[in-house]
Amino acid sequence: MPTVLVVDDALFMRVTIANMFKEWGYEVIGQASNGKEAVEQYDKLMPDLVTMDVTMPVMSGIDAVKEIIQIDDEARIIMVTALGQQRLIREAIEHGAKDFITKPFEPEFLRMVADKLVEDIEG
What is the rounded distance in angstroms from the CA atom of residue 100 to the CA atom of residue 19? 19
Measured CA to CA, the distance from residue 90 to residue 82 in angstroms comes to 13
The pTM for the full model equals: 0.94
Residue pair 55/85 in contact (Cβ under 8 Å)? The answer is yes
Q: What is residue 2's three-state secondary structure?
A: coil
pLDDT of residue 58: 94
pLDDT, average across residues 19-29: 98
Segment 16-36 mean pLDDT = 98
List C-alpha distances in Å: 104 to 29, 31, 60: 24, 20, 19
CATH class of domain segment(s) 3-115: alpha beta
Arithmetic mean of pLDDT over the chain = 94
Domain map of the chain by residue range?
A: 3-115
